[in-house]
Amino acid sequence: MEHNPVQVICYSGHTYAERPKSFLWEGTEHRVKKVEKEWQEPGEKHFRIRTEDDRLFELCYYEASDRWLATEWLLKSAKGGRDEKGSP
């Protein structure tokens, strides 16, 4: 699975990075339609999100390095497309 650095605009209430609102991916801004899942690991915040154009991504914020990484999840098509990790 390939993780790419991204710029993320997020809602921050009591703490930073409570909820991503949009992010810059391959030169295009993508707005978050829905946070489908979120979880934390030591020093990390993870979000599985769906964009307004129905693409699925995982965004992860690494607190120690103050950076975001993203991975696009590609769904397998009925005709043998790519799997969820983006592999053929």
Residue 88 placed within a domain: no
Q: Which domain holds residue 13?
A: 4-73
Residue 87 placed within a domain: no
Residue 34 placed within a domain: yes
What number of other Cβ atoms are within 10 A of residue 78's Cβ? 5
Tell me what pLDDT residue 4 has: 86
Residue 51 placed within a domain: yes
Residue 53 placed within a domain: yes
Residue 49 placed within a domain: yes
Domain count for the chain: 1
Report residue 2 as tokens: 């390939």
| Whole-number Å distance between alpha carbons of 83 and 22 | 24
pLDDT tens string, the chain, 88 residues long: the values are 567 889 999 999 888 889 999 999 989 999 999 999 999 999 999 999 999 999 999 999 999 999 999 999 987 655 444 445 444 3
Cα 33 → chain centroid? 12
Residue 86 placed within a domain: no
Q: What is the 3-state secondary structure (H, E, C) of 21-54?
A: EEEEECCEEEEEEEEEEEEEECCEEEEEEEECCC
Owner of token pair 């790419």:
4
Residue 83 placed within a domain: no
* pTM, entire model: 0.80
